[in-house]
Amino acid sequence: MTNNNPIIIKNGRSNLVSLIALIIILILAYLHFFKKDDSFKLREQILQTQIDSLKTKVSEYKSERDSLDNNIHNLNDSLFTLQSEIINKSNQIYKLEKAYAKKVEHINNYTVSDINKYLTDRYKR
């Protein structure tokens, strides 16, 4: 008994067409979902460029900050030196004031006749 039923053959061809259609749909779906996204690569390149630019700016700012820190240290050293000089000058002024105060006090002890005698003796020479 041969099975020459036209419905089975028709269903066999229909199944084959359905299978081919399903394979084509699966291939298209695979290509659609797993294709390489060039826009993603472009965005990635743009972001990497921005990151590199920011790294360069950060490096420049760090260098400038280091330079400014160095200037601050130098100015602090200069300020310390100037403060030391001011203290030394103040001590010298204080010593001079004391010395002149002693001389003035000593001069105040002289009478008019003592001063006249001193000047006379001085200019006789």
> What is the CA angle 41-47-53, rounded to 5?
140
> What pLDDT shows up at residue 32?
76
Query: Residue 111: what are its φ and ψ, rounded to 5°?
Result: -95, 175
What gap in Å lies between CA 104 and CA 112, rounded to an integer? Answer: 15
> What pLDDT shows up at residue 17?
83
Q: 89 is written with which tokens?
A: 């000058």
Sequence ranges of the domains in the chain: 1-35, 42-124
What gap in Å lies between CA 64 and CA 78, rounded to an integer? Answer: 21
Buried-exposed string 6-16: b where 16+ CB fall within 10 A, e elsewhere? eeeeeeeeeee
Average model confidence (pLDDT) across the chain: 84
Residue range 7-34: mean pLDDT, rounded = 77
> What pLDDT shows up at residue 1?
46
What gap in Å lies between CA 63 and CA 4, rounded to an integer? Answer: 90
> What pLDDT shows up at residue 7?
46
Query: Which range has the top average pLDDT, 14-18, 43-47, 98-102?
Result: 43-47
> What pLDDT shows up at residue 37?
65
pLDDT at 6 over 60: no
First to last CA, the chain: 169
Over pLDDT 90: what percentage of the chain? 46
**What would the pLDDT profile of 65-112 be if each residue is shown by its tens digit?**
999 999 999 999 999 999 999 999 999 999 998 888 887 777 777 788
Taking the CA atoms of 110, 115, 117 and 121 in sequence, report the sign of the dihedral they define.
positive
